[in-house]
Structure 1
Amino acid sequence: MAQNQSLSTQEVADILHVSKSTIYDLIRKGEIHSYKIGRKVRFTQEDVDAYIARSRHEHSTAPVQRIDTHSTLLTPAEEKAPEMIISGQDVVLDILANYLHQEDINAGRTYLSSFEGLLALYQGKVDAAACHLYDGKECNASFVRSLMPGVSAVLVNLSYRTQGFYVRKSNPKHITGWEDLRRADISILNRRVGSSSRILLDTQLKKLEIPSGQLKGYDKIMSSHLTMASAVAAGDADLAIGTERITHQLEGLDFIPLLEERFDLVLQKESLENPAVVKMLAILSSPVFRREVTHFSGNDYRDLGKIIMEV
């Protein structure tokens, strides 16, 4: 089946050899990602691959705990508090947490944006926060400095990936870059406040001195890169900002690359001597882990596990 094909609930059930009701239960529990086109639930092959990647490890380890960082209480199902909590929204982090479970380290996961994750790390609610924020000059470091004042931190690389514009197939509006946001005939889609795509957009608008109110669709908020890309492909808007790999999952879409972003895992420097963190860094640097995440994600992992900088 083509990588960019949209999968129905029945097709996913057939791939996993389970019933449709099981798939709906997995969606309800948040164990498999999906999106909606109208009232129909759809999946990408990456959603299925990610679920399989996480599930492959669960025969030998407990499932990853999902943690609500807005509450200090554990739910009844969380009988044992996690030894470490990893924040971020990439499937690589789910795979990492499962590898930690295999090493008898009880790792929890919370799915915060980069901005929210850094705040949670500063507040001591998480132990590691994935971050991909661009301030117009550099990735991540300036946000770590401003959101974690007085805290010494290290940035461990996870991957590099390309951010750009999603546009309809064949680019009918002939969009080429940021300057096209000045055009009155261009409509966009946006993400919620605090998301990396929203911060990137707002940074560029400020740099170009374009008032946000001038952009048609600026206040039309979408839940994910995938839902934005699907809407652009359907002709609901002319462009949206997101990562390149989404374009390999959908038909009717082209991509205009704008910049390479660095995706890092931020840790407080004092935690580097923590045995769980030592083990996590060893996993990130291992050839076995690199092979697995390369297969399921498709980003550039040339510096995976390396400490890129101290802030």
Structure 2
Amino acid sequence: MEDDGARAVQDQWMSTQGLARYLHIHEKQVYALLKSGRLPGTKATGKWLFSKRLIDAWLEDQTRRNLAEVRRRSRRSEGALLAAGSDDPLLTMLIAAAGRSIPGGAIFSAVTGSAEGLRALGEGYTDVAWSHLLDAETGSYNTPAVIGRYLGDRETTTVHLFNREVGFVTAAGNPKGIAAVSDLVRPDVNFVNRQEGSGIRLLTEARLRAAGIDPGGIQGFERSVCTHVEVGLAVRAGRADAGVAVGAVARLLGLAFVPLTEESFDMILDRETFFSRTVQSLLDILQGEAFQESVRGLGGYDFARTGRLLT
């Protein structure tokens, strides 16, 4: 068992400025949170210090509290559902289309990453989880063995939504010639990562392990954002040379794209929710020619198995 001393050595500590960067907020907001007593921190030689391990735990607790409150409020609207998990530009468009087309069938979705979305579903905080977790042993996505780690005893079904292209997003023309994970350790390459627990982050880490690459040697690996679009914007603004995202983001922002893999993006939910009017209408929209034609310009999506029950 790891003792407190060992944990302290391994922990990472941040100043108020460092925490502001980590949370993507202004430093004044850090002091406001401290003043309200909501932020875990400690003073040393007159300066505030924050444990990354405790901050991550605090963020997870805040996310679950917020999900529970939104779910409670959503119950006031018949047909409304609460979802959490992965992020995708096409999913955002689908949820918006459903909101316009389904009377009272709003879907409130939180971007938490696949793992946290599944965990929230397993603990009863949400109705739906969006996921694209790879089973390294089988090469398939969202297998019972993988999603079962997060769902506990909850019985669910997995519905395929779409396949999507995932790869490196780089500056237009790919001026640094980034083509493989081995390029990420180069001293002239600055990386932008996704948040811990996201399917993209787990995929990136799996690829690095397979190549025998230590993430500690990658500039920017600990800097993370929460969406595919944020990855693209960081590259477009010159704050990063590369990140992993869907090909649609590269096309939307005029960036270069180097394909890595094709993923299965799925919806996990219980059978009662699956047969709800909102979910059935959502699938009707996604399978419809009108919606698919409207998103065809994004490129990199495949609807051949849309709506298929996987488990």
TM-score, normalised relative to structure 1: 0.65
Q: CA deviation digits over 1:112-153, x for unaligned, max 9? A: 332222112111222222112234422222431211133332
Aligned partner of 1:299 among 286, 298, 301: 301
Work out the CA distance in 2 between the residues paired with 1:168 and 1:304: 32
Query: Could you say which residue in structure 2 is the equivalent of 1:64?
Result: none
Query: Could you say which residue in structure 1 is the equivalent of 2:156?
Result: 153
Work out the CA distance in 1 between the residues paired with 2:102 and 2:66: 20
Q: Is the 8 A contact 1:161 1:263 kept in 2?
A: yes
Give secondary structure in 1 for the equivalent of 2:141.
Answer: coil
Q: CA deviation digits over 1:205-243, x for unaligned, max 9? A: 222232221111111223432232233234332211101
Work out the CA distance in 1 between the residues paired with 2:269 and 2:275: 11
Distance change >3 Å, CA 294–CA 97, structure 1 → 2: farther
Give secondary structure in 1 for the equivalent of 2:224.
Answer: coil
Distance change >3 Å, CA 271–CA 291, structure 1 → 2: same
Q: CA deviation digits over 1:166-214, x for unaligned, max 9? A: 1122222222112323434322111221222222212222222322211
CA drift of 1:74 comes to: 4.4
Whether 1:207 and 2:204 are equivalent positions in the alignment is no
Whether 1:144 and 2:147 are equivalent positions in the alignment is yes
Q: Which amino acid aligns with 1:147?
A: Y
Query: Could you say which residue in structure 1 is the equivalent of 2:108?
Result: 109
Query: Could you say which residue in structure 1 is the equivalent of 2:69?
Result: 71
Query: Could you say which residue in structure 2 is the equivalent of 1:25?
Result: none
Give the gaps of 5 or more residues in structure 2: 1-64
Query: Could you say which residue in structure 1 is the equivalent of 2:257?
Result: 255
Work out the CA distance in 1 between the residues paired with 2:180 and 2:168: 8
Give secondary structure in 2 for the equivalent of 1:232.
Answer: helix
Higher helix share: 2
Whether 1:85 and 2:82 are equivalent positions in the alignment is yes
CA drift of 1:295 comes to: 6.9
Whether 1:124 and 2:121 are equivalent positions in the alignment is no
Q: Is the 8 A contact 1:96 1:284 kept in 2?
A: no
Distance change >3 Å, CA 284–CA 245, structure 1 → 2: closer
CA drift of 1:155 comes to: 1.7
Distance change >3 Å, CA 95–CA 296, structure 1 → 2: farther
Q: Which amino acid aligns with 2:69?
A: S
Query: Could you say which residue in structure 2 is the equivalent of 1:4?
Result: none
Work out the CA distance in 2 between the residues paired with 1:190 and 1:94: 27
Q: Is the 8 A contact 1:161 1:261 kept in 2?
A: yes
Query: Could you say which residue in structure 2 is the equivalent of 1:220?
Result: 223
Aligned partner of 1:196 among 195, 199, 204: 199
TM-score, normalised relative to structure 2: 0.65
Work out the CA distance in 2 between the residues paired with 1:306 and 1:272: 12
Work out the CA distance in 2 between the residues paired with 1:154 and 1:73: 20
Query: Could you say which residue in structure 2 is the equivalent of 1:44?
Result: none
Give the gaps of 5 or more residues in structure 1: 1-66
Work out the CA distance in 1 between the residues paired with 2:108 and 2:295: 17
Work out the CA distance in 2 between the residues paired with 1:82 and 1:129: 17
Work out the CA distance in 1 between the residues paired with 2:70 and 2:232: 36
CA drift of 1:268 comes to: 2.0
Work out the CA distance in 1 between the residues paired with 2:263 and 2:283: 21
Work out the CA distance in 2 between the residues paired with 1:140 and 1:110: 19
Give secondary structure in 2 for the equivalent of 1:189.
Answer: strand
Distance change >3 Å, CA 303–CA 96, structure 1 → 2: farther
Q: Is the 8 A contact 2:194 2:226 kept in 1?
A: yes
Distance change >3 Å, CA 244–CA 73, structure 1 → 2: closer
Give secondary structure in 2 for the equivalent of 1:179.
Answer: helix
CA drift of 1:304 comes to: 2.0
Work out the CA distance in 2 between the residues paired with 1:287 and 1:211: 45
Q: CA deviation digits over 1:255-275, x for unaligned, max 9? A: 100001111111224544556
